[in-house]
Structure 1
Amino acid sequence: MIDALQLQLRFSPALANKPSAPRTNPSPESPHKPFNPFENPENGPLFITDLPPSHNLVLNKFAVVPEHFILATKKFKPQTHLLEPDDLEAAYACINAYHEKGAEGQLYVFFNSGPHSGASQPHRHLQLLPVARMKDGLEDPTAWDVLANRLVGGRTVETPFRTFAGAISAGMTGEELHAIYLTLYRQAVEAMRDHSLPGTEINESVTAKVDGEPAQISYNMAMTRNALVICPRRAEGATIVSSNGDLVGTLSLNGTVLAGTALVKSQAEWDTIRNDGNGRVLLDVLGKIGLPLDA
């Protein structure tokens, strides 16, 4: 069964103010130390709670929907290294807790890793979005569902980029989730290795066999209650050109793309994509950020 691609466009001007690289801590004691919003957040206004033994929950200062929050490691671990079993176990615990709230209690979790993924902070963190809040403002909330959910269970969606998906379920251990994650990750690496487009270079010095190793590629990971999906990335975004050939800006995309969501930062981008009746502008960008379907 092949499903049509459902895309949601969201205008998030707050993202225009989000730093794209670590900011310098102005403290005279450490003038060159990058600012780390996830270091000792307990006394800060965004802190929610700790999730023993290894993670904290904090609100996202640059939220794309209400109640957008973050699962960050207590100790510094690089965002560019492979996820570990406790990361996935903690993320699924949050998903399961939301599910127990009822029909609207769904969480979408995503992880950005590597220079082409939309990542902006070096401290390891996964981002969590309540699906009900992602449907706010839609004329028909039933007309859109999270893309990651539609990539498992024998279903195929006509995406402009290649994805690798596996089914997951409640009761899986962190080790079981991690095994699925590594299987999909390795499939993505092999697909990148077989392709020679710009941005598909692979770090051959690491093997993805040991927890904590640097990842060989840029990628996004998405997790829902039923699905774990990886999308290898070869570009963070692409330029947007209007129908009359004018350069409008650059659309950058992160792991929300695996929800079937594109976030735009400026009014010009918003107007150009919304006024494009056949979706050519957005589909052109999506076709450039990952691997083609024949890869």
Structure 2
Amino acid sequence: MGNLIWHDWARFVSITASVYAVWAGYWGIFYRKFFWDFVGGIVRDPGGLQAPASAALFINVIVKIPLIQIFVMLHALFVLALEWPLPLMKNLSIYRSIVVRIVLLVSQASIAILFYQARFLSHVRLPRSYETALSSGDLLFFPSTVHKHVESDIEFEIRLCPALQKKPKLPTPHFEPSVPAGDGGNRKKDDPFAPPYIPALFVGELRDDEEGDEYVVLLNKYSVVPSHFLLVTKELKSQASPLFPCDLVQTYLLLLAARKAGQSFFAFYNCGDRSGASQHHKHVQFIPTENGDGPPIETLARSKRLESDDKAFSLTQLPYANHIRRVPSFTLSTNRSTLEETLSQTFMMLLDLVISTVRHDPTHPPGPPSYNVILTLEHMHLIPRKCDEHVLKETGERLGVNALGYTGMLLVKSERELEAVKREGVLGILSAVGLPNVHEKQIRTKAWEVDEHGISCM
């Protein structure tokens, strides 16, 4: 009886291990990484870990083509057929062989450890990382209160955070379309996103296996909203550069991963020196929302009735220029090329409209256009900018405005500033740092080019 119990226990362990191997191989196809790339690897600054040349074979059969993952799945399915067993297997001699089982299980385990068997996405680690960083003192949280302010039937959220008055004032960043890497010591001094990273703020790494671009996910050191995190390029890239296809894909995948985990986030990007950006190293920011409706601007965008969802549109009730396009419903299993093509075309379409809007404004400062990008699972927004600050008429104080302001979420540092913003009007402030809404004029002048992808500005 004892031998029978041990035999069944061993069989169940074998079945469990094989089911896990199938599952690991499946996800390993989507998230490809050679597990042992750190052996003999080179740490680049910037760039992170680079696999050694000796690992080229494994990179080819794991990352470029997921042969190992597929083989592990087939191998595990064979073990399951043997242990379950399938009726056909009972008639084979290997079904009664302990040696065959040992060889199969050992080989299965040996091959499976060649690739990462699980993908610990940033959203899984985020709550734990946030609490750890907060308790260690590496993350500074500034308590705040949200004040609802209705203006033109739009409910804005003005967040009052007096503690921000004590936040160290950051030097004005220098924005260039391309930036030199520089030496490690000076770069770390000028770039808070350069390695080595503060361990408590480091959430994880991401790699775009199609393009090879690498990113790190970091918690925002100065946090007003819990779990505010950043997607930062490992390589030093300029915040004045547009979002590239791989940037858009990784950003959207994080939003999808958060939704799968039951959390609601939106992303925003401040591009250029008049966008409200505070750092020159390229980074996309993510903010959670208390409800699943997203930021206030999403309520307006969602309510817009369109003849076709593949065309760009503007919320014409807003006095400042805004360009929006609906994003189709995607999931984590959506083909990457489809996701990249859709997001890239959407971004370029809206960027064309931003440039067209700038050309319609003779008072726009010279130089490359600055703009804000807001990305949710449903919409992409681009808002052209004229300046990054607004001088409040009542107090003479300078109010910085970045993409969050255009989501309908403005940040103030004092009661006095709060009342001044309410009296002057949020829409007036956003209009002052943005550009006039010339959507109707663009239509009247027939500056549209209709193609198979939708509408883009000529």
1:9 aligns with 158
Aligned positions of 1:196-207 closer than 5 A = 196-197=362-363, 200-203=364-367
Alignment equivalent of 1:21, drawn from 172, 175, 188: 172
Alignment equivalent of 1:239, drawn from 391, 399, 407: 391
CA RMSD of aligned residues (A): 2.7
Aligned positions of 1:101-180 closer than 5 A = 101-102=261-262, 105-132=263-290, 145-148=295-298, 150-151=300-301, 154-155=304-305, 156=315, 158-169=317-328, 170=330, 171=334, 172-180=338-346
Tell me, in whole angstroms, the C-alpha distance in 2 between the residues paired with 1:294 and 1:196.
13
2:137 aligns with none
Change (3 A) 1:99 1:31: closer
Deviation at 1:88, TM superposition (A): 0.6
CA contact (8 A) 2:239 2:271 kept: yes
Secondary structure of 2:246's counterpart equals helix
Deviation at 1:33, TM superposition (A): 7.0
Paired amino acid for 1:49: G
Change (3 A) 1:253 1:129: same
Tell me, in whole angstroms, the C-alpha distance in 1 between the residues paired with 2:370 and 2:362.
15
Secondary structure of 1:127's counterpart equals strand
Change (3 A) 1:154 1:121: same
Tell me, in whole angstroms, the C-alpha distance in 1 between the residues paired with 2:237 and 2:229.
19
Change (3 A) 1:41 1:127: farther
1:213 aligns with none
With 155-164 and 114-123 compared, the bigger mean Cα shift is at 155-164
Deviations 1:255-287 (A, max 9, x none): 10232111112342124335x3xxx34333122
CA contact (8 A) 1:9 1:263 kept: yes
2:221 aligns with 61
CA contact (8 A) 1:239 1:248 kept: yes
Paired amino acid for 1:19: L
2:234 aligns with 74
Paired amino acid for 2:355: V
CA contact (8 A) 1:49 1:56 kept: yes
1:218 aligns with 370
The answer on 1:286 being equivalent to 2:434 is no
Tell me, in whole angstroms, the C-alpha distance in 2 between the residues paired with 1:56 and 1:109.
15
Tell me, in whole angstroms, the C-alpha distance in 2 between the residues paired with 1:192 and 1:69.
31
The answer on 1:268 being equivalent to 2:434 is no
Identical-pair percentage: 27
Deviation at 1:51, TM superposition (A): 1.5
1:94 aligns with 254
Paired amino acid for 1:124: K
Runs of 4+ in structure 1 off by over 6 angstroms are none
Secondary structure of 2:365's counterpart equals coil
- Structure 2, gaps ≥5 residues long: 1-151, 175-182, 209-213, 306-314, 440-458
Select the structure with the greater relative contact order (CA < 8 A; seq sep ≥ 6): 1
Tell me, in whole angstroms, the C-alpha distance in 2 between the residues paired with 1:83 and 1:51.
16
With 91-100 and 35-44 compared, the bigger mean Cα shift is at 35-44
CA contact (8 A) 2:318 2:427 kept: no
With 281-290 and 218-227 compared, the bigger mean Cα shift is at 281-290
Deviation at 1:63, TM superposition (A): 1.8
2:192 aligns with 37
Provide the TM-score with structure 1 as the length reference. Answer: 0.78
Tell me, in whole angstroms, the C-alpha distance in 1 between the residues paired with 2:355 and 2:299.
22
Tell me, in whole angstroms, the C-alpha distance in 2 between the residues paired with 1:184 and 1:235.
20
Higher Rg of the two aligned structures: 2
Secondary structure of 1:7's counterpart equals strand
Deviation at 1:146, TM superposition (A): 3.1
Paired amino acid for 1:11: L
Alignment equivalent of 1:47, drawn from 199, 202, 212: 202
Tell me, in whole angstroms, the C-alpha distance in 1 between the residues paired with 2:409 and 2:375.
15
Tell me, in whole angstroms, the C-alpha distance in 1 between the residues paired with 2:427 and 2:198.
43
Tell me, in whole angstroms, the C-alpha distance in 2 between the residues paired with 1:120 and 1:291.
21
1:182 aligns with 348
Give 1 or 2: higher helix fraction: 2
Tell me, in whole angstroms, the C-alpha distance in 2 between the residues paired with 1:191 and 1:74.
33
Paired amino acid for 1:167: R
Change (3 A) 1:268 1:154: closer
CA contact (8 A) 2:219 2:227 kept: yes
Paired amino acid for 2:320: F
